[in-house]
Amino acid sequence: MGIEGIGASVVRKEDKRFITGKGRYVDDIKLVGMTHAHFIRSPHPHAKIKGIDASAALKMPGVLAVLNGKELVDDKIGNLICGWMIHSKDGSPMKMGAWPAMAPEVVRFVGQAVAVVIAESKNQARDAAEAVVVDYEELPAVADVKAAIAPGAPQLHPEAPGNQVYDWVIGDEAAVNDAFSKAANVVTMELSNNRLVPNAMEPRAAIADYDAAEEHFTLYTTSQNPHVARLVLSAFYNIAPEHKLRVIAPDVGGGFGSKIYIYPEEMVALWASKKVGRPVKWTGDRTESFLTDAHGRDHVTKAEMAFDKDHKITGLRVKTYANFGGYMSLFSSSVPTYLYATLLSGQYTIPAIHAEVIGVYTNTTPVDAYRGAGRPEASYLLERMMETAARQLKVDPAELRKKNFITQFPHQTPVIMAYDAGDFNASLDAAMKAIDYAGFPSRKAKAKSEGKLRGIGVSCYIEACGIAPSKAVGSLGAGVGLWESAEVRVNPVGTIEVLTGSHSHGQGHETAFAQLVADRLGISINQVQIVHGDTDKVQFGMGTYGSRSAAVGLTAILKAMEKVEAKAKKIAAHQLEASEADIVIEGGEFKVTGTDKKIALPMVALAAYTAHNLPDGMEPGLKESAFYDPSNFTFPAGSYICELEVDPGTGKTTFVNFVAADDFGRLINPMIVEGQVHGGLAQGIGQALLEHAVYDGNGQPVTASFMDYAMPRADDLPSFKLSHTTTLCPGNPLGVKGCGEAGAIGSSAAVINAITDAIGNNALEMPATPDRVWRAMQG
């Protein structure tokens, strides 16, 4: 590795613009003649729209138009789609109601858009929205997943009787029943996984600009995947064909999944821009984020785990109710099925697993993938079960895990996944050493003497990342392939532009991706520019989510680099009158091994573009592209251990130590990797202790601002102690596994296991607020 190559903690190239206030986010962009949109949203969780009177609003200063859902229908704008087909156990396709971008007749969650005001200024649009009168007839509503499937519950969509979207199963039920009939011990738990709001710090925003002469749209949007946005807007929403729609996702202020989806606001902005003949900007406020960004998690689960007399797991039975909200968001159907139940084997050899997942409509904001997406729910469930099992069996929780760890690879689980590599003992040992696990009993005793309850909690997670082999996900119902594309352009002066379909919204691609190029050619990262986020520049891309950008996006760049290098070697050999096989690339030069003959990269590039002296038959230029489709998922795994104290008088928890030992395969930039883990841990700990999107019994959200929803703040969190163990991923040439979601997947259970250890009561739900902990302590 060079000082800027693979494995170096290089400070980020992109930071300068962010620390000097020169980042360019969507809301920072102004177009000539730009107008402003403000949406009118339902205050009711479930209601019929009897009429919309915009006559007063239309007379107000600066108002250009007030548009509603009926006009969308009239203009044949398509409904929002769900792009992953799931079939119920009876073979029937999932049952979905239509989701129009603005509701023409019925609203099904608080915050659903019913109309939009377009005005000269933001304030004028907001003022006019106050004057639009929407006549609603309120309908009974239901927010809780169990209540929604109970007989007599209010019904959301006629297409989905009983509010049930699907009843899906995976695994061998008979084998599981057999395991339980022979079990020496059975552990049973009922757990909920609390609903979360992603809350990227930059609220969603969009600017749509229609060029009537060219019949061409440009959309600036806060997207993790601008090409997917263009594809969906073109293929399903009837906005414009792909060649007449340019989507730009400039600097994007965090995503965590919530900016994967194509939301009503972008669609409406595009449509409205054509209608008013002017650019239209919409920038959400934070309350709109709470009401309309896709939420995460929200499961209710009953699980049973069977053990034999030697404490080996013999079976796992899971039944989960997943709350989807009022409509099926873009990838929502896949989250509690193929992203959740396929990880229920965790790090353990479990011979038989059966899971049933019932997807349910409720009068709440739609739920979709949020950092980890299904895998945090699986990990939390399993790791709570393992800790509870250890207590029930009266064995050390770490030892029980080790006894059941998978140690031979590849390992085929009973729930689709084939783990390719790992060393689970190594990461657990590293974490136990880092926290001095052996010394815990004496620390606990000392804390007790000081009036504090000290607890320790282990969590061993595994995730399936590098999403995903296209053929595999296609066979499971995905509507898209999940490969990635890249293009490497060597300019005539030898500088390099890399165009990638991955999108960086905090992950540091502009640095980490440049490190690969620098590493291979022996040049500085400053000679490399990473270009992303613009459908007019980048050939195509599936975007960034599911910890896929290193494993899939960077491998695509590697594949394009290999083609560039092969051609450049041919040119160098020709110029140096040497054999191509003797050319090596070092320090930005092409050298003939064993001689002092060499030619610098800029001269090779110049030769490629002047084309005065190329090998016979060679095309001029030095630019190659690649599409890379992974052969398998990747399987990052690791162990987290949390040590904390609970104040017996108040139930308040205080962190003593939090250690993480992750196996991400090869690390490109360890500094960036650790930053990703820190952020993931904060979100997992936030779920464990603080965050909860709460609805009252009638579907009114009661946590729709930062005043009401507890975001993790600096003084809620400890500093983390990170370490890494390494098994290279055999599935890609870089050996990388992905690191973006691990922290959020593994940490929640470690925290709750530590608290339940401290208080001696396993019955505790997230978020473990002081109030809940105190009540649990009372038994």
For another protein, the binding residues (CB under 8 A) are 11-12, 14-25, 27-28, 30, 123, 199-203, 251-254, 256, 285-287, 505-508, 671-672, 674-676, 678-683, 705-707, 711-715, 717, 719-720, 743
User: CB-wise, 371 or 591, nearer to another protein?
Assistant: 371
User: CB-wise, 570 or 678, nearer to another protein?
Assistant: 678
Least distance from another protein to the Cβ atom of residue 25, Å: 7
User: CB-wise, 11 or 702, nearer to another protein?
Assistant: 11
Least distance from another protein to the Cβ atom of residue 740, Å: 11
C-alpha span between 551 and 730 (Å, rounded): 11
Is residue 553 within 8 Å of residue 630, measured between CB atoms? no
Least distance from another protein to the Cβ atom of residue 716, Å: 8
C-alpha span between 502 and 740 (Å, rounded): 13
What phi and psi, each to the nearest 5 degrees, are found at residue 708? -115, -25
User: CB-wise, 74 or 285, nearer to another protein?
Assistant: 285
User: CB-wise, 170 or 690, nearer to another protein?
Assistant: 690
User: CB-wise, 653 or 683, nearer to another protein?
Assistant: 683
Which residues are bridge partners to 627 per DSSP? 485
User: CB-wise, 24 or 50, nearer to another protein?
Assistant: 24
Least distance from another protein to the Cβ atom of residue 131, Å: 17
Question: What value, to the nearest 5°, has the Cα angle with vertex 713 and ends 740 and 258?
Answer: 40
Least distance from another protein to the Cβ atom of residue 683, Å: 8
Least distance from another protein to the Cβ atom of residue 507, Å: 7
One-letter amino acid at 221 equals T
What is the separation, in whole angstroms, between the first and last Cα of the chain? 56
Q: What percent of the chain is helix, strand and coil (3-state, nearest 5)?
A: 30, 25, 45
Range list of β-strands (E), 7-161: 35-41, 47-53, 63-68, 106-107, 113-119, 133-138
User: CB-wise, 166 or 261, nearer to another protein?
Assistant: 261
What's the sign of the alpha-carbon dihedral 531, 534, 536, 540?
positive
C-alpha span between 379 and 398 (Å, rounded): 16
User: CB-wise, 196 or 604, nearer to another protein?
Assistant: 196
User: CB-wise, 29 or 480, nearer to another protein?
Assistant: 29
Least distance from another protein to the Cβ atom of residue 679, Å: 5
The two three-digit tokens of residue 778, written as one number: 């009372």
Tokens 């979905």 — which residue?
A: 96
C-alpha span between 278 and 212 (Å, rounded): 10
User: CB-wise, 290 or 307, nearer to another protein?
Assistant: 290
What phi and psi, each to the nearest 5 degrees, are found at residue 216? -125, 135
Starting at the earlier edge strand, list the strands of the sheet with 106-107. 106-107, 47-53, 133-138
Least distance from another protein to the Cβ atom of residue 539, Å: 25
What letter would DSSP give residue 94? P
Is residue 33 within 8 Å of residue 278, measured between CB atoms? yes
Query: How many residues are there in the chain?
Result: 779
C-alpha span between 247 and 317 (Å, rounded): 45
Least distance from another protein to the Cβ atom of residue 645, Å: 15
Tokens 């003022």 — which residue?
A: 127
Among residues 186, 408, 463, which one has the least CA distance to residue 315?
186
Least distance from another protein to the Cβ atom of residue 394, Å: 35
Least distance from another protein to the Cβ atom of residue 229, Å: 18
Least distance from another protein to the Cβ atom of residue 655, Å: 11
Residue 182 gets the label, from left (phi > 0), alpha (psi -120 to 50) or beta, of alpha
User: CB-wise, 24 or 59, nearer to another protein?
Assistant: 24
Starting at the earlier edge strand, list the strands of the sheet with 216-221. 63-68, 113-119, 35-41, 280-283, 205-211, 216-221, 245-248
